[in-house]
Each structure stands twice: as C-alpha cells, then as structure tokens.
Structure 1
C-alpha cells in the first residue's frame, strides 16, 4: 500500500458530512487490495478487517469533513486539501499502519472510516454494540509524538422566549432583550463555575452560535442556539439543571449532549505508544482536547483502553489552509504499526 497515494486520493474525494459515499467506496476498494476483508456496513461506514480471532482492536477514524473544498496539491513536504488534518490524515494512518502490521494470530484488527463525525456521529453511534474491542485508537490529529487522552463534552441548547407584542414606546422588555439577558446571565454564571480552575479542559465554555427573532403582529419571539463545552465535572444533565435556574421566562431544551471523557495514562496501549514514539526519536507528551470527538461516544461503552492518535496540527482543523506534513504522516504510521505489533504480541 502506497501510504502517500492513499492519503492524496482519499483527500481528493471531497466528502463533507452527508456526501461521504465516494470516499467510502474508494477506501473499501483500497483496503480490499491490501488484503483486508473490506465492506460498506449497513450505516454506510467503510470497514476493513485483518485477521481472525477472539481479540479485537478497533482503529476508528472518520471519513467526513466540514464544508469547503480546498484544491488538493503537494508543495514540498506538505499536502494541502480538505480533511488532510481532520481527519483523513489520521484515518489513512490507521489504514496504512494496520496493513503494514499485517494479520496477527488471535486478533482482528478492525479499521473503520465512520460517517458524520462532524454532524450527528451516526457512524460511530451505530457501531457501539457491533464491536467489543480490547483496545481502541481513534484517528484524530494529535501530532505524531503526542497522545490524546481525553476530550471535553458538549451540549447544544436552544433557548426560546415569547412575549405579547407591544409598542416600541411602551418601555416593555422585548423578547430579544429577554434573550440577551439570558445569555449574559449564562456567561456570568460560567465565570463563577470557572473561578477555581485555570486549565481550559476543566472549564465550562459557552458559545452563542445563532440568533433568530420574529413577530407575527401578536407575539414577539426570540430564539438562541448555544453550544457549551463541558469539563468532566459538568455532564450535560447537570448543566441543564443549572441553566434552568437562570431564567423563568423562556424555555430551554437540550438538543444534544455528550459527556467529557478522559482516559488513563497507565495502560498497555499507552505504554506501547510511548515506546513506539521514543523508538522514532520522539519525546512523547499527552494532551487533553477542548473539542469533542467520537472518543467521547465509544470509550464509555467499550470500556477498554482508548486514546486518540494521528498526524496533523489540530490548529489547522476546519481552516482554509488545511495541510499536513507528509514526513510526520509517515512517522505516525511507523509509530502505530509498531504499537499494533506490540499490543498483539503481548510485549507491553
């Protein structure tokens, strides 16, 4: 398997959320050529399995990207294109590393290119009970010498308030003014929650994502959609309980919520990754991400050592200048190949 051609051709198949089928078909075909038992599952995920046995390792990446096609090109060591970092680079790394490690006695190495991670994560949600891995690596950009142990949680909230129409000279508070006051109270409350913390991973961070208002001659309506990034100490359910205390004029609904996840440093999987990074001349470090990934969904259900790992600078996620270093990409493949051999051969 030509790992650079794999990545370049995968990135060339533009696949924003909801339009992944061409990229899925390509990845399945490439895995079949490399000796995987590869197929498109009932959800539409690309799945490739190497080997057979009672033990499973799942290498879970996502094949969708955000919107915004970027011309695919190589300039020196850099490959430009949408998804090179988030997260086709890591997905191609998972695929190439599994192919290079090859089948291992007693193990199934399962590579999955999941749908809709940038959307509703239905690709990951549909496989939660299909696989029962002993180890799992989630393909996300960490940098070749860093291991991501956790991601913050997330809650999407809709606030809506309705008020009877009144004349602009009446002095009565409008629905828009009430919504703004709610947002200001929420921001003030998060400052209080965060007063005793300095690390962003441990803080509650709200973001106002959309505003809408309308009038029909009788009712004045305002609506806000808010995303709140959550630390481990604040699961979505607790956030909702706290938010309901902030306002008694409007209605607050939790549209979607996922708790934060933080894994353990001392596991056979982490030890194998540390060893492999050092063997490549790296000084391994750990990171905790302020975003959210499929790791948050699968790790609590699978209850096995789980980390996120992959090449790429996450500061380039979703940007118009998204690109990846090909030398770093190759290093990550070597690291993960060695890791797979170590954990399957029990030398951790």
Structure 2
C-alpha cells in the first residue's frame, strides 16, 4: 500500500464528520484499488475490502465535529480524528493490505453506529475481529460499557409565572435530579467507573409552546451501562421516577467484556512484545462498535489502535507518528499470526 503515513495524513486532512464520510471513503477505496484489492462502498457508506476472513480488521471512518488545524509538529500529527479513530483506521487498512485479510471502514460510529449495525446484518461472522479505536500502541481493550439514550418530554398548561405550580422546565429539572440519583443508586459508590451505571444530560430545550397555551421541556439523556446491565434495566429505573411526561428510547447497545485469553488478545500481546512493548489490558468507560460485533458474532475479538484516548474529541487532538508506526507493526504481526 501507499506509504502508511501518507494515507494517515490524507485521511486526517479530509473532513469526515458522521454523515459526511464519503470523501474519506473514496480515499480508502483508491488506496485499496492501488494495492490490487477488491473494494467497494456498500449501501450505507461502509468501505468493504473482503479477503481472508480469518481476521476482520475494522474501524470507523467518521469523526465528531470540530476543526483542529492539520499540521505535523515535533513528531505529532494534529487534526480532528487523528486519534479517534482515523489513526487506528489507517493502521488497520495498512495491516489488512500487508497480510491479505478482510477490512471494513464503517460509518456513523460517533452517532448511530449505522455502519456496524448494517455490517452485522449483511455478512457472516469472520473467524476473529480486531476493532480499531485508540488504546495506545501497547494497550489492548477488552471491555466497554454499554449505551442507551432517551428523550424526556413534558408539557404543562400555561400559568402566570407568579403562581407556585411548576412549569414544564421545573418539572424537567426535578425529573433529571431523580433520574441521576436513581441510576447512581443502582451500583455501589465504591465501584470503578467501568462497573457503575452513569447518566448524563446532553441537551435541554424548553419554553412556552407556539400556541401560548402551555410550557414544554425536552431533555436528551445518555446512560452508560456496566456489564450485567441492560437497556431494559435502565428504562425500568427511569420509568419508576418519571411522575409526569414520558421518555422515548433509542435502541440500546449492550456492554461487552472479553477474556484476555481469547486468540485476538494473545496475538496482539505477542505483537506488542515483538515491538519491545509491555502489553496492558484496558476496560473503557465509553462504548464502541465492538459492543455490537460482540453481540452479533461469538468469535475472538479485542480493540486496538494508536493514540492517547484522553485526546478523543479534544481541541488539541494529535497522534504521535512514531506510535502510529509501531501500531502498524503490531497489527501486522498479530494479524499474520491469526491468519496462519
């Protein structure tokens, strides 16, 4: 394939916010075509390059919004997506070409996971999966919390603001206080962040309705689910403290935790040691497409990729180029072993 760093820089330099991945997808397609690989863009925008299905290397093409000027400085490549997850994506593409295994770049991981959902619905399970997200070149991610989102809406007939009765905005604020306390009480306070359910408001709107006859409020909320917790569990907890109004729920993503003894983790550890690193096992408090792959496919898997995940979505997002090079070497070593 083309020089790995060139592919990385081209992808980071190409805006690919969720829903707008087409230009970055084209760059990936052209790179695989130049390497003589079969490749196409599927119905939802995923880049598919099928080959030896003993391993599927996959990462997401999209990024969150936010402009981080692209530049190379002091051995780092700055730019939106350099860490999450264009660095891992480029490393996966290079290793897939080097070893002749299957590759998919998926869309909309940062929003709906549309690409991963479509993928598991439209192809058979591979023998193993390496999902691309920043873990640090010597880290291996084995677990992620799950995710559930809902929108609470309440409407209350209008009244003078001097009246003591709560308007819709006040009811929404009280609802959130009850939800946050109830979800927090579901798990022990001394548990780690990975082991706790958490709730976070991500948007709120409210005011007088257009016809002037009521006040209304809308709260968008996200919930993170530790292993052993389901979306139904969270819905039941929230419903129990919802006294007025109603919550509309999205489709949940379940938590995942894989054994460090699975074949992918073993291969990645060997690759890290071959590059003179000391492997570490990680559990992430966020959520990734690995959650969906693990739900659909009962095969060995883990998440791996270059980058400091504390820089995910950050205004100073940047990737050390030497770390990127090492991650390509680790992935190539591990994938070759899995493909034997």
TM bucket normalised to smaller: over 0.9
- Give the structure 2 partner of residue 291 of structure 1: 286
CA contact (8 A) 2:144 2:287 kept: yes
SS in 2 for 1:291: coil
- Give the structure 2 partner of residue 309 of structure 1: 304
SS in 1 for 2:251: strand
Q: How does 1:311-330 map to 2 (within 5 A)?
A: 311-330=306-325
Per-residue deviation, 1:233: 2.2
Q: How does 1:1-348 map to 2 (within 5 A)?
A: 1=1, 2-51=3-52, 55-101=53-99, 103=100, 109-129=101-121, 130-216=123-209, 217-345=212-340
Within 2, Cα distance between the matches of 1:281 and 1:330?
13
Within 2, Cα distance between the matches of 1:279 and 1:196?
40
Q: Deviations over 1:129-167 (max 9, x none)?
A: 313211001110000100001111111111111222122
Within 2, Cα distance between the matches of 1:131 and 1:140?
22
SS in 2 for 1:163: strand
CA contact (8 A) 1:157 1:256 kept: no
Name which of structure 1's ranges 164-173 and 147-156 shifts more when overlaid on structure 2. Answer: 164-173
Within 2, Cα distance between the matches of 1:150 and 1:96?
25
Within 2, Cα distance between the matches of 1:50 and 1:161?
52
TM-score (norm 2): 0.95
Within 2, Cα distance between the matches of 1:49 and 1:69?
33
Within 1, Cα distance between the matches of 2:267 and 2:126?
17
CA contact (8 A) 1:35 1:50 kept: no
CA contact (8 A) 1:11 1:82 kept: yes
Per-residue deviation, 1:212: 1.2
SS in 2 for 1:127: helix
Structure 1: which 5+ runs fail to align?
104-108
Q: Against the structure 1 CA distance between its residues 322 and 135, is the aligned structure 2 distance closer, same or farther, given a 3 Å change threshold?
A: same
Q: Against the structure 1 CA distance between its residues 18 and 191, is the aligned structure 2 distance closer, same or farther, given a 3 Å change threshold?
A: closer
Name which of structure 1's ranges 308-317 and 67-76 shifts more when overlaid on structure 2. Answer: 67-76
Within 2, Cα distance between the matches of 1:12 and 1:172?
54
TM-score (norm 1): 0.93
Within 1, Cα distance between the matches of 2:112 and 2:322?
33
RMSD of aligned C-alpha atoms? 1.4
Per-residue deviation, 1:197: 4.1
Within 2, Cα distance between the matches of 1:340 and 1:330?
15
Structure 2: which 5+ runs fail to align?
none
Within 2, Cα distance between the matches of 1:207 and 1:311?
28
May I ask how many residue pairs the two structures share in their alignment? Answer: 336
Per-residue deviation, 1:194: 2.8
Per-residue deviation, 1:40: 1.4
